Structure 1
C-alpha cells in the first residue's frame, strides 16, 4: 500500500455515524484516495461497504500517527479527521508534513472546556458563570450557593454526553460523580442559561449561517432537531455571528470549520461552547439542503489546499427531526416508504437494521433515524419534517416480546 503514488487524504479515525463516510466520498470526487488510520476498522461499517483503504495503528499516540504519515512519503496530500477527538492529532501530523491544518495547540485549548471558559472570559466574550471542580463536595457547595438550576458538564467530550441540568446539591453531586471518576477527573459546574439555543457554522473567519437547535426536555440537553437558516431578526442574527467570531479570535481558531453553540438570553448572546470542527447532528447535510453549500466538501478541499466552494447556490429553508429509541430491545421492523413520499422530504433514513439490538443511553446514540425536509420558509420545513417523522417506522421488540414503535 505504501508504494502507491496516488495522492491520499489521510483520515485519523472517523465518526461512526454522520460525516465520516462523506469525507471519503468527497476525497474520491477530487481524485484523491482516502486512507483511514484506526485502531479498529470494524467500528466503521462503511470501510468494508465502500472498500476504504485503512491501516491499523494506535491513534491515541499523536507522535505515532505523525510518524506513520511521514512514512507514507509524498503521496499524502492532506491529513484530517471527522471526529472531534482526533482533530488535533490530525492537525499535528499535517503540520509535521508542511500541509494545511489548523493550529493543534489552539484545537487542544478549545477542546478542554475549562480552559476554553477561562480564555473566553479573559477576552470578554460573554458566557455563563463557570467553575472547574475536582470533587462532588465542591460541586454541591456551588449548587447550594447558586440556589437554582446549574449545569454539570465534562471538561472533555462531545455530543452533550454527560451534560445535565441539576436542581440542588444532591442532584449536582450525583451528576458529577461519574465525570470525576473518569479521566481527567475534572468537571464544570455552570450557570444555567435561559433562552433559545443556536449554532453558528463558520469556515475560516467567515460565517456560513446560523442554525436553530431544538432540545429535548430537561435535565439532559438532547438535540431533537435543527432548522437552517434560523428564523431570526437581522439584529439577532448579527449579534450571534459577531459573538461566534469573537470567540474564534480569542481561542486562536479561524482555520477551516467550526461550530459555535450560543444561547440567546434576555441579556444577549452567551457562548455555550466552541467546537473546532464541523457540526454534528447532520447539520452539514441541512446546510447543503438549504443553501447548496457543502461544508464537508469545503473541509476536504481546505485540507488538500484546493479552492474552497462556499457560495450559496439556492435559498431555501431546511429542517431535520430525529427518531429516538424509546426502549431497549431488538429492532423488529423498519419502514421508510411513507416518510420518503411525504411532501418536502429530501432524506428519510433509519440507521438501525432489523434484528439489531438497541439500548437507551439518554444521549445522541439513541438516534435511530431522521428526516430532512426543505421548503421556501422555515415554518413550512418544520411542519413537513415533523409530519414525515411520524411516518418513519421502527418497531422495537422488548425482551418480554412486546413490540412498540420508537419515539
Structure 2
C-alpha cells in the first residue's frame, strides 16, 4: 500500500474510532459528514453542533428510539468521504447522511447512499450537478447552489450597470459549476463574460491570478471560489490597487468568512445567502442556541444542517417510521418552514426550493456587535432563485414524449 492510500485508510479508521460509533438496533443515527480539518472546518464543526441542537429539540428520542449524531471528516477528498459513507451505512447503521462537505465529496457519497437505500442530504456542496446529472432517488440538495448564488449577486450588480465580467475560479467541480452558472446568468441578463483564470484549491498566494483579472479591464472581477481563497483574493485586490477601480464580486461568502477577514476588508461586498441569523425572531431564537454551544453565531451552512436534520426528524415522526421510502414521501409532500428555511418545498429532482436573500456587508461604523454584519438588499423568491425544473437534467424526471 503506498503512503497516500495508507494515510487515507488511517484517516478513515481514526475518525471512526474517535467517534466511538457502535452499530446497534433501536437507534436513529444521523451522520454529519463534513470538513473538520480543512479550510471550512469552522463551518463543519458548526454543522455538527447544529445537528445536535435539532436532536436536542426532540429530547434525543423519537418513536421509542434514541437519536444519535455521529460525525466524520471528509478530508476534502472523494475517496475518504466514500470510505466513511460505506463504513457508516454498512457497519454503523446510519440512517441519514447530512452536510457532505465539498461538491466533489458529495458526488462520491450520493451514489453509495442511493445503492444502500439511505437518505443523503447535501447542505454544504454548491454544485448544481447534485440535482442534475448526479441526482438520485434518495438525495436532497438543501441549502443553496451555484445557480442561486449567481441569480442573486449577479443581478444586483448588472442592475447597477456593471456589465463586463471576468472570473477568478477555483479549479475543481464547484468552481467550474459556479463560473458556468454565473456566466449563463450574466450573458442572459445584459452582461458580458470577458474570460476567466483558474487557480488551485486553497492556494495561499492569489496575486498572479488577480493581476491577470486586473489586466482584463473588466468592471467586475467575480470570485468563483470560497473560504481562504476568497479572502486571499480580496486581500490581493486591495494590495495591488485593483479596488476600487474594479469591483470584486465574491459569489460565495459565508458569515465565518466575513468574520475572519473583518469589516474593514469586507465592507460593501454584496452576497447571496439562504439565511442570516438576525433576519427575524425565529432565526434569532435558533442563533442563541447555537451561540450557547459554539460561542459564535451560525452562518447559512450550519443553519442549513439544523434545518435538514430538524425536518428529517419531523418526517420520521409524521411517517411513524424511519423507513427510507416512508420518510422521503413525507419530506417531499411537506411544506418546509422552520427557523432557517422560508417557503420551502422539495421538487422531484431533489432540489429544496426556498427564498434566498441578497445582503450587503456593513461598514464598521454600522455594526453594533460581533456578527452584526449584513443589511438586507432584497429577497429572491425560490422559483426565481433556483434553476427551473424545465431545465433540469436529472435522469429521474419523466420527459414528455
TM-score by length of 1: 0.39
TM-score by length of 2: 0.39
Instruction: Return the structure number with greater relative CO, CA threshold 8 A, min gap 6.
Output: 2
Larger relative helix fraction: 2
Larger relative strand fraction: 1
